[in-house]
DNA sequence: TATATCCCTTACGTAAACGTAAGAGGGTTC
DNA sequence: GAACCCTCTTACGTTTACGTAAGGGATATA
């Protein structure tokens, strides 16, 4: 039942760089997790799926601002119901030196499909709600019948 | 890709009872499947899960009108988003000789919970739709920027 | 008898996104 | 130096409702 993340300490204690160079922009997995409200497992999972690739310091992951941006995109994708595969396909098209037209087109295409899926889902849910509430009425009535004129709660 | 059911013939051909007694009310799995638009696998699965228990003639399943009613309930349950477990728990409370108050209560309780789940789901979907459509607008704009004044499709 | 239909059981496969356990390696602190 | 805290890898487990394949009877028609 422990589905919470590690609840890391302030992670201020662990800082290997004595030089304190201009690399405060890199954060480790724990901070990343807290920052975005995801678990360590999730971050490693995304990496495993090729969605993000933090640099390493030994075996420790270090996330750059760019990695932050990628994670934001991942989470946005999840929020709108994209699968990780979808997100990856779109991200894979990213080219820092170009208009990224293809990427944008794919994103738009997938978005349209997702939009219609969402509409359908909502329709299904609405139907379910309708059925359910009519059923509840029926059940309540039946319960009422089976009860002497007592408190109806 | 063959997710269709067996497309059984009219099942009129196979009728073992020469006597033609008053048992036309019993149907075999194929007819049952067609009648309710489910697969044979599904029917067997429900049975395996203890949701329905057709009588047997040898090894062949024979569904009574009562089994029909049960299946209807199962499908209704599925439609409103109940799990098969939920449906079973409710069905298990059925007592032909009684007011079935407990059953009705449980059904109502589960219904209320399900209703709130559905509401939440709808909220999530609505959020997703909102995010998605704003994203689509952005993407479209970016695409427009990257295009000489050509056809916008 | 060959072919078509229907039925049966057993049992592995599937999808998605992680959860969770196990065992172990640093660095820090009291 | 024991106790913490953070991090790592490997790898099996979870959820739900069937899909699908394999191998085999039974019946009925051509």
- Please give the pLDDT value at position B31: 97
Neighbours of B3 (CB within 10 A): 5
Chain A CB contacts of B99 under 8 Å are 146
Q: Is the pLDDT of residue B8 over 60?
A: no
Distance separating alpha carbons of residues A124 and B57, to the nearest angstrom = 39
- Please give the pLDDT value at position B60: 97
Chain B CB contacts of A111 under 8 Å are 132, 135-136, 139
- Please give the pLDDT value at position B148: 75
Give the mean pLDDT of B51-73.
97
Among candidates B1, B146, B107, which has minimal Cα distance to A101? Answer: B146
Q: Is the pLDDT of residue B22 over 90?
A: no
- Please give the pLDDT value at position A146: 87
**DSSP-assigned letter for residue A60:** E
Residues 6+ apart with CB under 8 A from A79: B127, B128, B131
| Percentage with pLDDT > 70 across chain A | 81
Q: Strand C: list positions under 7 Å from protein Cβ.
A: 5-11, 16-21, 26-29
Q: Could you give phi then psi for residue A130, rounded to 5 degrees?
A: -60, -50
**Per-residue exposure over B103-132, b if at least 16 CB sit within 10 Å of its own CB, e if not:** bbebbbebbeebbeebeebbeebeebbeeb
Q: Is the pLDDT of residue B39 over 50?
A: yes
The answer to whether B125 touches A125, Cβ cutoff 8 Å, is yes
Distance separating alpha carbons of residues B53 and B43, to the nearest angstrom = 10
| Residue A81 to residue B105, Cβ atoms within 8 A | no
CA–chain centroid gap for B112, Å, is: 19
Under the banding of pLDDT at 50, 70 and 90, the label for residue A150 is low
Chain B CB contacts of A131 under 8 Å are 76, 79-80
Give the mean pLDDT of B77-105.
96
Closest residue to C27 by CA to C1' distance?
A: A14
Q: Is the pLDDT of residue A1 over 60?
A: no
Q: Strand D: list positions under 7 Å from protein Cβ.
A: 5-11, 16-21, 27-29
One DSSP character per residue, B23-64 reads -TT-B-HHHHHHHHT--HHHHHHHHHTTS---EEETTEEEB-
CA–chain centroid gap for A48, Å, is: 16
Under the banding of pLDDT at 50, 70 and 90, the label for residue B23 is low
Largest Cα–Cα distance of chain A, in whole Å? 81
Distance separating alpha carbons of residues A79 and B132, to the nearest angstrom = 9
First CA to last CA distance, chain A: 33
The tens digit of pLDDT for each residue in A57-94 reads 999 999 999 999 999 999 999 999 999 999 999 999 99
Strand C contact at CB of residue B40, distance < 7 A: yes
Residues 6+ apart with CB under 8 A from B131: A76, A79, A80
Coil vs helix vs strand at B74: helix
- Please give the pLDDT value at position A18: 43
Interface test with B, best of A95, A98, A143 (most B CBs within 10 A): A143
The answer to whether B103 touches B88, Cβ cutoff 8 Å, is no
The answer to whether B49 touches B88, Cβ cutoff 8 Å, is yes
Q: Which of B99, B107, B128 sits opposite A80 (nearest CB)?
A: B128
Give the mean pLDDT of B32-42.
97
């Amino acid at each position: 039942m422990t589905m919470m993340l590690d609840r890391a300490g302030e992670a201020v204690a662990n800082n290997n760089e004595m030089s304190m160079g201009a690399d405060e922009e890199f954060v480790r997995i724990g901070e990343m997790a807290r920052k975005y409200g995801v678990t360590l497992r999730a971050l490693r999972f995304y990496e495993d799926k090729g969605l993000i690739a933090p640099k390493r310091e030994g075996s420790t992951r270090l996330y750059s601002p760019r990695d932050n941006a990628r994670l934001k995109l991942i989470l946005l994708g999840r929020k709108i119901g994209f699968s990780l595969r979808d997100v990856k396909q779109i991200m894979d098209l990213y080219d820092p030196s170009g208009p990224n037209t293809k990427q944008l087109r794919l994103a738009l295409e997938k978005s349209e499909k997702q939009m219609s899926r969402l509409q359908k889902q909502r329709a299904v849910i609405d139907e379910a709600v309708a059925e359910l509430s009519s059923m509840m009425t029926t059940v309540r009535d039946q319960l009422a019948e089976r009860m002497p004129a007592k408190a109806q709660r």
